[in-house]
Structure 1
Amino acid sequence: MSTFLWIVIVLLAFLGGLVGGTFIARKQMEKYLEENPPLNEDVIRTMMSQMGQKPSEAKVQQVVRQMNKQQKAARAKAKKK
């Protein structure tokens, strides 16, 4: 084979790996964030305490529900595109 053909094959393999790796990493990150949300009940309680509010269980659950609802809406909107 000629040198030019080898260079083209190597470049195509590199670009294919780069594109494939990007998509795989994105999917894995989305799955991880869905299973392990960055804000949980303990973090919300801490934030409320730091703001000077007394974090009642009902208020914490309300905030958690609102955040989950917003995340689902954002995922649905992203899937529509």
Structure 2
Amino acid sequence: MATWVWILIIVLAFIAGTALGFYSARQYMMKYLKENPPINEQMIRVMMAQMGRKPSEKQVRQMMAQLNKIYDKQK
């Protein structure tokens, strides 16, 4: 085969591998973040305690609802 054919095959394989790798990494991260959200109720309680506040359960749930609303909007 001619040299240009090999170069074309290598370039196409590189492009396909990059696209497939990006797609699979994106799917994995979306699944991971859905199963392990970056902020949970315990983290909110700790943050508010560090700010010198004792949050009520209602405040914690309101903050979680707001964060979930933001996450859902991004999708």
Same fold (TM > 0.5): yes
Aligned match of 2:33: 33
Letter of the aligned partner of 1:11 in structure 2?
Answer: V
Cα shift readout 1:32-76 (whole Å, capped 9, x = no counterpart): 11121100011101100011110222211111111111211221x
Moved over 6 A (4+): none
Cα displacement string for residues 2-47 of structure 1 (whole angstroms, at most 9, x for unaligned residues): 1221111011101110111111111211121112110001110110
How large is the Cα RMSD of the aligned pairs?
Answer: 1.1
1:1-80 map, 5 Å: 1-75=1-75
Measure, in 2, the Cα distance between the counterparts of 1:11 and 1:18: 11
Gapped runs of 5+ residues in structure 1? Answer: 76-81
Paired with 1:10 and 1:25, the residues of 2 have a C-alpha distance of: 22
Report how many residues are paired: 75
